[in-house]
């Protein structure tokens, strides 16, 4: 379980780095689409970074996706290698996803995006937007994920612990 939490925290910190680098490397339309609508509208015409910077951003995103796939596969392989029960496999998968989701909600959404001036500094045209005070802008999307994650973990735990599958 410790390895699972470490892998999930690794993914979380990679996401933090990407979220902090994105305003400097990615198109504003890509970065701001995760924020409230008025912020997106105010900042979408912000100057786009140069092509090399955008390519670097896409390379970093690809590397982060590769880490995510590798980490999740490592968790799945651990479940199979250790021949865990459904309950233990479920706990491991749930821990992996919930550590990342908790970090996302608390650190990325609420602290970095809403409590600091980091994005307002990167996109000065969004300073007067009321969306910066709307801490609930993402509640529906996050709630859907929080409801779906336990179901997905149960399905995956069943598949990983079903004897004779995933050889």
First to last CA, the chain: 22
Query: Does residue 23 lie within any of the structural domains?
Result: yes
Cα separation, 3 vs 113, in Å, equals 29
pLDDT in tens for each of the 167 residues of the chain? 889 889 889 999 999 999 999 999 999 988 888 888 888 898 888 999 999 999 999 999 999 999 999 998 999 888 888 988 999 999 999 998 889 888 988 888 888 888 888 888 899 998 888 888 887 777 788 888 889 999 999 998 998 888 655 44
Looking at the structure of the chain, the number of domains it has is 1
Nearest to 112 by CA among 9, 19, 8: 19
Query: Does residue 166 lie within any of the structural domains?
Result: no
DSSP reduced 3-state for 28? helix
Query: Does residue 14 lie within any of the structural domains?
Result: yes
Query: Does residue 167 lie within any of the structural domains?
Result: no
Query: Does residue 145 lie within any of the structural domains?
Result: yes
The domain containing residue 46 runs over which residues? Answer: 2-161
Nearest to 137 by CA among 113, 165, 153, 162: 113
């Amino acid at each position: 379980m410790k390895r699972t939490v470490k892998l999930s925290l690794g993914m979380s910190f990679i996401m933090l780095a990407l979220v902090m680098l994105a305003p400097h490397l990615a198109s504003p339309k890509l970065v701001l689409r995760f924020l409230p609508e008025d912020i997106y509208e105010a900042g979408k015409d912000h100057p786009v970074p140069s092509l090399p910077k955008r390519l670097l951003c896409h390379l970093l995103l690809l590397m982060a996706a590769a880490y995510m796939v590798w980490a999740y596969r490592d968790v799945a392989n651990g479940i199979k290698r250790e021949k865990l029960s459904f309950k233990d496999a479920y706990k491991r998968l749930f821990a992996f996803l919930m550590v990342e989701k908790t970090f996302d909600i608390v650190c990325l959404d609420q602290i970095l995006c809403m409590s600091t001036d980091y994005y307002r500094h990167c996109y000065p045209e969004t300073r007067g937007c009321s969306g910066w005070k709307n801490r609930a802008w993402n509640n529906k999307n996050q709630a859907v994920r929080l409801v779906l994650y336990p179901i997905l973990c149960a399905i995956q735990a069943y598949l990983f612990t079903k004897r004779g599958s995933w050889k």
